[in-house]
């Protein structure tokens, strides 16, 4: 098996039953595995809600480490719509020329830097830096702020060993609180200030609501982007022909981004709380239990994707759900797609090949399923053209 491969561990359960079961801190989850069922449940916010107790739709549950509601992620329709409409234009800024040019400058500089090194640990020395620096653009704040975020490590709610860590989460909350206070005193053209001056339904956002959007902005795109970038480096190390193809046919880049994101599915699944006794995949689920929409499994569904376990760089039809589906689809997707697009083009232009020197897989423990989601470390050498 190639080092860069991410096996589909859901296949058998998806085909035989359509769902899987996992216990998570004594709050069990029925995982929905097929693409069609995942979409159906994602639409059905009346039966499967996001706006339950803050932290409960995340698997592993975060109810014990936070009580701030993340917005718009943990809000259901109809309120969801107004919050989403407020933040949507801001999160589309990555399409602007100036933004993408700055992102390109950041990514090119980082690639140039790693090309001078004999050995690079991709997560710490590449992906985390890339993600943190790019986030300064999304927030519209000075580049130098990224250094602090880099020092926090890859997951804001977890420490080494992947345990949920309330003390670590507090670092982020205290930081955001401080930044909100600064923006109240000294409004600028950053995301904090935009939110503080905004109104939803004629009412100003509360401080807690501003905090909820900011926490989501920090945490939602952190390990996900880091995994997408790290997995891309591993993939190109083992597929130099793909880098060559991207250089010769740059018009394929957009499709390649979608395909890599489908294949990696950096966010395995997202939960919902069941509001009334009902059925999924002919299986009874009880009110006040949880289901999860398993994007990673749905994205390998052979009923929809030909050769689902292969990376087909220019895959024509690719209705993947790696960015979620329906009204809660990923708010940061435009930013993430721009990062991947620029990264792929830059690697194709500047990198001749990548050698994997050492690696250790990061395996997510989903009870019945153990899924590789990325790496604990990935040591490589980037070779210049
Ligand atoms: C939540 C989640 C959002 C959660 C789209 O995903 O990302 C996770 O990494 C966080 O832990 O709180 O923001």
Residue-level pLDDT at 157: 65
Tell me: the pLDDT tens digits for 237-256? 999 999 999 999 999 999 99
Identify the bridge partners of residue 375 per DSSP, sorted by sequence position: 361
Query: Does ligand 1 come within 6 angstroms of the Cβ of 216?
Result: yes
Pocket test for ligand 1, best of 50, 53, 58 (most atoms within 8 A of CB): 58
Query: Does ligand 1 come within 6 angstroms of the Cβ of 121?
Result: no
- The alpha carbon of 332 and the centre of ligand 1 are apart by a number of angstroms equal to 12
Residue-level pLDDT at 1: 81
Residues 6 or more apart whose Cβ sits within 8 Å of residue 178: none
Residue nearest to atom 5 of ligand 1 (CA): 220
pTM of the model: 0.97
Query: Does ligand 1 come within 6 angstroms of the Cβ of 351?
Result: no
Cα(first)–Cα(last) distance of the chain, in Å?
A: 28
Q: Which two tokens stand for residue 217?
A: 């902005």
CB 36, CB 303: distance < 8 Å: yes
Query: Does ligand 1 come within 6 angstroms of the Cβ of 219?
Result: yes
Distance (Å, whole) CA 58 – CA 50: 9
Query: Does ligand 1 come within 6 angstroms of the Cβ of 220?
Result: yes
Angle between helices 333-350 and 253-264 (to 10 degrees): 110
Closest atom, ligand 1, to C-alpha of 66: 12
Does residue 311 have a pLDDT over 90?
A: yes
For domain 11-384, the CATH superfamily is: Cytochrome P450 (1.10.630.10)
Q: Which two tokens stand for residue 216?
A: 């989501």
- The alpha carbon of 373 and the centre of ligand 1 are apart by a number of angstroms equal to 15
- The alpha carbon of 331 and the centre of ligand 1 are apart by a number of angstroms equal to 12
Does residue 159 have a pLDDT over 70?
A: no
Residue-level pLDDT at 66: 86
CB 80, CB 342: distance < 8 Å: no
Does residue 160 have a pLDDT over 90?
A: no
Closest atom, ligand 1, to C-alpha of 156: 11
Tell me: the pLDDT tens digits for 66-108? 899 999 999 999 999 999 999 999 999 999 999 999 999 999 9
Residue-level pLDDT at 162: 57
Residue-level pLDDT at 317: 95
Question: What percentage of residues in the chain have a pLDDT greater than 70?
Answer: 97
CA atoms lying within 13 Å on the CB side of residue 3: 24
Domain ranges in the chain are: 11-384
- The alpha carbon of 146 and the centre of ligand 1 are apart by a number of angstroms equal to 19
User: What does the pLDDT average to over 292-299?
Assistant: 98
Distance (Å, whole) CA 149 – CA 160: 16
Identify the bridge partners of residue 271 per DSSP, sorted by sequence position: 292
User: What does the pLDDT average to over 308-332?
Assistant: 98
Residue-level pLDDT at 170: 86
- The alpha carbon of 135 and the centre of ligand 1 are apart by a number of angstroms equal to 15
Residue-level pLDDT at 201: 86
Residue-level pLDDT at 335: 98
Query: Considering only CA atoms, which of 49, 278, 230, 234 is closest in space to residue 127?
Result: 230
Does residue 324 have a pLDDT over 80?
A: yes
**Helix residue ranges per DSSP H, 249-330:** 253-264, 295-298
Distance (Å, whole) CA 190 – CA 211: 14
Tell me: the pLDDT tens digits for 107-125? 999 999 999 999 999 999 9
Identify the bridge partners of residue 29 per DSSP, sorted by sequence position: 22, 290
Distance (Å, whole) CA 354 – CA 111: 12
User: What does the pLDDT average to over 119-133?
Assistant: 97
Distance (Å, whole) CA 269 – CA 325: 11
Does residue 59 have a pLDDT over 90?
A: yes
């Amino acid at each position: 098996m190639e080092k860069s491969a991410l096996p589909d561990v859901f296949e058998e359960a998806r085909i035989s039953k359509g769902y899987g079961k996992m216990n998570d801190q004594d709050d069990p989850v029925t995982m929905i595995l097929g693409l069609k069922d995942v979409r159906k449940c994602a639409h059905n916010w009346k039966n499967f809600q996001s706006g339950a107790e803050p932290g409960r739709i995340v698997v592993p549950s975060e109810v014990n480490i936070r009580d701030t509601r993340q917005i718009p992620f943990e809000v259901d329709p109809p309120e969801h719509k107004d919050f989403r409409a407020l933040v949507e234009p801001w999160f589309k800024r990555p399409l602007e020329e100036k933004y993408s040019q700055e992102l390109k400058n950041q990514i090119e500089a980082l690639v140039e830097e790693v090309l001078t090194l004999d050995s690079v640990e991709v997560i710490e020395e590449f992906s985390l830096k890339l993600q943190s620096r790019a986030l300064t653009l999304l927030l519209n704040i000075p580049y130098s702020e990224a250094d602090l975020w880099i020092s926090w490590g890859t997951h804001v709610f977890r420490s080494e060993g992947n345990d949920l860590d309330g003390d670590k989460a507090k670092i982020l909350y205290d930081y955001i609180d401080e930044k909100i206070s600064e923006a109240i005193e000294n409004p600028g053209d950053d995301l904090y200030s935009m939110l503080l001056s905004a109104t939803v339904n004629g009412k100003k956002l509360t401080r807690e609501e501003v905090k909820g959007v900011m926490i989501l902005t920090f945490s939602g795109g952190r390990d996900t982007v880091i995994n997408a970038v790290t997995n891309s480096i591993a993939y190109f190390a083992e597929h130099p022909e793909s880098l060559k193809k991207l250089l010769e046919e740059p018009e394929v880049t957009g499709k390649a981004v979608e395909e890599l994101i489908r294949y990696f599915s950096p966010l395995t699944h997202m939960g919902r709380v069941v509001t009334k006794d009902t059925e999924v995949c002919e299986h009874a689920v009880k009110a006040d239990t949880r289901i999860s929409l398993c994007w990673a499994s749905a994205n390998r569904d052979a009923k929809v994707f030909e050769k689902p376990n292969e990376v087909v760089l220019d895959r024509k039809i690719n209705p993947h759900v790696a960015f979620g589906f329906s009204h809660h689809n990923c708010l940061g997707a435009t930013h993430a797609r721009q990062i991947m697009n620029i990264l792929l083009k830059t690697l194709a232009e500047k990198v001749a090949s990548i050698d994997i020197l050492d690696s250790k897989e990061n395996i997510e423990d989903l009870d019945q399923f153990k899924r590789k989601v990325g790496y604990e470390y990935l040591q490589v050498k980037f070779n210049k053209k």
